[in-house]
Amino acid sequence: MSGNKRIPTDGGQGLSHKPFAALSNAGLPLAPENLPETNLGEASVPASRLVSSLAPTNVVKPAKKNRGRVDIVRQTAGRGGKTVTVVKNFNGIGLPEKEQLAKAMQRACGTGGTVKDGQIEIQGDKRAEVARILTGANFRPVFAGG
């Protein structure tokens, strides 16, 4: 063998190498100054007490905003005798959100559906399931028609 093709085995850099030393903590929240003492022995502090002492005490949950009334109608006319549940009269909601609601309704009802002319159409008489989903999305569903 000619030449020295050995791999160095001296260990390279020592253990003092810090790979994350270049990262900064800018934009991160500061640690609480007075954390409770914990003992891992017999008299340890319960985790529930630690969590409650670290949780903010003045958190205000935002109230659910009512997004308006929507009508749920069952239709059979012009559909070859097939029943379709139609959701209409959306105010202030765009096409992408209507499509997301339609997908959620289709999954919950186990049927097909579409968004057509600004209305959501779900195959079958699924008014109760559709009303449940609309209520969860902060709409006020109203059963209109027959």
Q: With a threshold of 0.75, does the pTM exceed it? A: no
* Structural domain span for residue 110: 69-143
Q: Is the pLDDT of residue 50 over 60?
A: no
Any domain includes 109: yes
User: Which domain CATH number covers 96?
Assistant: 3.30.780.10
Any domain includes 132: yes
Any domain includes 9: no
The total of structural domains in the chain comes to: 1
Any domain includes 118: yes
SS3 113: strand
How many CA atoms lie less than 13 Å away from 123 in the CB half-sphere? 10
Any domain includes 28: no
Distance CA 111, CA 84 (A): 11
For the ranges 42-46, 93-97, 103-107, which has the lowest average pLDDT?
A: 42-46
